């Protein structure tokens, strides 16, 4: 497929405000692609030169891209900079300069998608002395031979600013339609994606091997598995009812969720975040401890890494633990904030997948390979058959400074990438108010009035994630609780991802000053959930009126940004509906 065709499809995607329209456009593009092109097209469409867990970064800064545009078109760099200041989009600037350039297009045939992608990947992998000039030259050569529309998307992709808005679920649905003519195969594609976390590989396997290739997908060491997620309930009685009268109750640690992959014979360890980002170099202490302490040859296990103060025998707050996630000063910080990794699940052992084994079997095997009192330890847990046993353990965890508990179905498999009632988390729940925090996706922001105009930020429009429709539904506008540092940070973060119109996957009746790509998750506390005609979260008809749900008196928790969570891991519409029903229930351990 010519890259010119792909660019035309991208232009159509930009022009649609409908998710269903987006699926149709993607379906047509995938249907026309050759089998050896589908992987590259998918990677480019999601704006990444490789799956996130491979940690491949294009490394193109705006100044470098400006130089490449100037070199490709013969324009003065100052004019490129002036255009960028005016448009706020180097892709549009590149399109304009290529269109106006009097330099002749290089004498060659039009680009194939594979050629463009291979060049971009080569740029990403160019490092060391002279790499800056080499990157500029490769990008400039590519732009010089491009059409204006191709140049728009080449530059945006190079900057990591493609922003087509196609989520994982949308792409999987389009792949199903392209390969089978309908959406019915999407659940199988999701299962494959959940155990390999590689959309490109799923698409390529489907197109080359058909349905059988997808159904035969296997867990692979060093390909992270998408994490299982927990539902929430406010009372021990409801938990036990869901668990048929008996369950495991584990301590809920407020740290960094890590997935550790180890091949002891080859002394290779890889560490992935809950967002499946590769973090291995950030945690050399976890790597060395895994090789020494985990009694297995090849293993994939999950745990929660949390900073611990040995002098006070106390866990640090989440914000302290997050300081360990860094690229510089790693050794010094590891001494200042030593970690403990509380292992809570076993996903694969010596080449055998444990995903379909019962929780009780996975835990029993985990207890045999994690035994010591070093960095790697087992998560605390009990087996409960009575509500009071759950309540007592919950109270102990809170008094120990932990976040709460997670109840687990003893007979359930590990359900990768899904939020099910086989895991149920419980935090404090007070009568008459919403004391549990929610994680929301920022979909827009406001400039603000009065003193806030100097910061260029006055508030944000936030949404929950509807995992059934793959849409972000608004639930609140947050305009209070920001420090001056917050406002400066949010203006920079959101200003870098603002888009010209409402993203296709956002459902909103409210119009912010600026729409943004759904990228950042913020942690919010509110007094309660109320019904609202203004927001689309859980929107339904009541009598003659369309009603959704909103948060009353929302405010940001700490700095708010949850760097460890993807937009699709935000609080769901379904959770909001459940919390609305439960928010007036009695506090755990308190008499009605």
Instruction: Give the tokens for residue 55.
Output: 């940690």
Q: What are the b/e assignments for 18-50, b being 16+ CB within 10 Å?
A: ebeebbebbbebbeebeeebbbbbbbbbbbbbe
Residue 399 near residue 205 (C-beta atoms within 8 A): no
Neighbouring residues of 295: CB distance < 8 A, sequence distance ≥ 6? 368, 369, 370, 371
The catalytically annotated residue of 252, 357, 425, 491 is 252
438-446 and 459-466: which strand pairing? Answer: antiparallel
Close Cβ partners of 368 (under 8 Å, ≥ 6 residues apart): 295
Q: What are 401's two structure tokens?
A: 């400074």
Residue 523: closest CA among 495, 551, 549, 502: 551
Beta carbons within 8 Å of 226's beta carbon, 6+ residues apart = 193, 194, 195, 197, 276, 416, 417
Q: Is 110 a catalytic residue?
A: no
DSSP reduced 3-state for 371: coil
Half-sphere exposure of 66 (CA within 13 A, CB side): 15
**Cβ distance 58 to 49 under 8 Å?**
yes
Query: In Å, what is the CA distance from 207 to each residue of 23, 197, 311?
Result: 17, 17, 57
Work out the angle between the directed axes of helices 77-87 and 62-73 (0-180°, nearest 10). Answer: 120
Residues in the chain: 592
**Closest to 381 measured CA to CA, from 393, 395, 365, 364:** 393
**What is the sign, positive or negative, of the torsion defined by CA atoms of 183, 188, 190, 196?**
negative
H helical segments located in 127-167: 131-144, 148-159
DSSP secondary structure of 514-576: EEE-S--EEEEE-SEEEEESS--TT-EEETTEEEEEEEES-EEEEEEE-TT--GGGSPBHHHH
Cα–Cα dist 350/362, whole Å: 13
User: Would you please indicate which residues are annotated as catalytic (active-site) residues?
Assistant: 252
């Amino acid at each position: 497929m010519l890259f010119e065709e792909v660019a035309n499809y991208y232009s159509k995607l930009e022009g649609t405000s409908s998710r269903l329209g987006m699926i149709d456009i993607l379906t047509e593009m995938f249907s026309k692609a050759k089998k050896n092109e589908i992987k590259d097209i998918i990677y480019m469409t999601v704006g990444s030169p490789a799956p996130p867990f491979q940690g491949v970064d294009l490394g193109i800064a705006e100044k470098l891209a400006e130089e490449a545009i100037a070199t490709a078109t013969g324009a003065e760099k100052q004019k490129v900079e002036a255009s960028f200041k005016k448009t706020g989009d180097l892709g549009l600037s590149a399109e304009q300069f290529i269109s106006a350039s009097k330099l002749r297009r290089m004498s060659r045939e039009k680009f194939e998608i594979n050629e463009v992608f291979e060049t971009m990947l080569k740029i990403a992998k160019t490092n060391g002395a002279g790499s800056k000039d080499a990157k500029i030259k490769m990008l400039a050569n590519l732009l010089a031979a491009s059409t204006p529309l191709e140049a728009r998307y080449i530059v945006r992709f190079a900057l990591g600013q493609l922003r087509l808005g196609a989520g994982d679920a949308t792409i999987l649905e389009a792949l199903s339609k392209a390969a089978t003519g309908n959406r019915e195969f999407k659940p199988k594609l999701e299962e494959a994606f959940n155990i390999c976390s590689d959309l490109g590989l799923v698409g390529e396997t489907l197109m080359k091997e058909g349905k059988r290739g997808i159904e035969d997908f296997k867990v692979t060491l060093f390909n992270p598995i998408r994490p299982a997620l927990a539902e929430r309930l406010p009372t021990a009685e409801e938990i036990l009812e869901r668990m048929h009268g008996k369950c495991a109750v584990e301590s809920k640690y407020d740290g960094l969720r890590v997935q550790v992959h180890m091949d002891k014979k080859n002394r290779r360890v890889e560490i992935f975040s809950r967002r499946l980002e590769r973090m291995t170099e950030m945690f050399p202490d976890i790597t060395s401890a895994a090789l020494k302490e985990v009694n297995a040859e090849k293993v994939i296990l999950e745990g929660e890494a949390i900073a611990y103060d040995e002098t006070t025998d106390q866990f640090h707050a989440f914000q302290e633990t997050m300081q360990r996630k860094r690229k510089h000063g790693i050794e010094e910080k590891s001494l200042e904030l030593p970690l403990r990794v509380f292992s809570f699940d076993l996903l694969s052992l010596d080449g055998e997948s444990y995903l379909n084994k019962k929780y009780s079997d996975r835990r029993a095997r985990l207890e045999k390979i994690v035994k010591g009192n070093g960095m790697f330890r087992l998560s605390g847990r009990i087996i409960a058959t009575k509500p009071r046993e759950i309540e007592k353990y919950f109270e102990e965890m809170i008094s120990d400074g932990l976040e709460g508990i997670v109840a687990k179905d003893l007979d359930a498999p590990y359900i990768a990438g899904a939020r099910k009632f086989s895991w149920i988390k419980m935090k404090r729940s007070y009568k008459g108010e919403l004391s549990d925090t929610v994680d929301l996706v920022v979909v827009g922001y406001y400039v603000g009035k009065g003193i806030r105009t100097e910061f260029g930020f006055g508030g944000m429009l936030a949404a929950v994630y509807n995992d059934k429709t793959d849409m972000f539904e608004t639930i609140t506008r947050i305009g209070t609780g920001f420090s001056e540092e917050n406002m400066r940070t949010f203006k920079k973060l959101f200003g870098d991802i603002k888009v010209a119109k409402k993203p296709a996957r956002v459902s909103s009746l409210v119009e912010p000053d600026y729409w943004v790509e759904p990228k950042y998750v913020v942690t919010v506390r509110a007094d309660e959930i109320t019904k609202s005609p203004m927001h689309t979260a859980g929107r339904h008809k009541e009598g003659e009126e369309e009603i959704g749900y909103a948060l009353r008196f929302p405010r940001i928790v700490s700095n708010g940004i949850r760097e460890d969570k993807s937009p699709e891991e935000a609080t769901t519409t379904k959770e909001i509906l459940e919390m609305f029903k439960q928010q007036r229930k009695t506090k755990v351990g308190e008499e009605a």
